[in-house]
């Protein structure tokens, strides 16, 4: 998923993270500078649902407007099935659960 906070903030005339942080504080959400930086740059590690509710109230939006799905990234994370790997590489691929190491000497 991609975080769309800055675009939604810009639609509300909020161009700087300090301004957004001030508005969040006015709405009752005190947020650290570090967490605000992560939210603003699009790299939030975690976000509480209560905080998301305040963010949506300040921006007058729904959570679905802040989170944008990226199905192509999900598809790229799927493991390739062994049968498909064999066909493409020409090399045998061990089946899951059959990878055994050699016993110690």
* CA distance from start to end of the chain: 49
Kindly list the structural domains of the chain, giving each domain's residue range(s) and its CATH number in brackets, ordered by start: 2-68 (1.10.260)
Radius of gyration of the chain (CA): 22
CB 13 within 8 A of CB 20: no
Tens-digit pLDDT profile for residues 15-35: 999 999 999 999 999 999 999
Nearest to 9 by CA among 1, 22, 47, 34: 22
* pLDDT for the residue numbered 61: 94
Instruction: Give pTM, 2 decimals.
Output: 0.67
Which tokens sit at 60? 């007058």
Task: Write down the pLDDT at residue 98.
Answer: 60
Task: For 55-88, write each residue's pLDDT tens digit.
Answer: 999 999 999 999 888 888 888 888 877 665 555 5
């Amino acid at each position: 998923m991609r975080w769309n906070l800055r675009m939604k903030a810009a639609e509300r005339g909020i161009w700087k993270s300090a301004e957004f942080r001030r508005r969040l504080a006015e709405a009752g959400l005190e947020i650290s500078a570090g967490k605000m930086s992560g939210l603003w740059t699009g790299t939030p590690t975690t976000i509480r649902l209560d905080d998301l509710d305040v963010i949506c109230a300040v921006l007058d939006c729904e959570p679905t407007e802040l989170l944008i799905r990226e199905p192509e990234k999900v598809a790229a994370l799927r493991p390739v099935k062994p049968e498909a790997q064999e066909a493409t590489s020409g090399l045998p691929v061990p089946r899951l659960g059959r990878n055994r190491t050699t016993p110690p000497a």
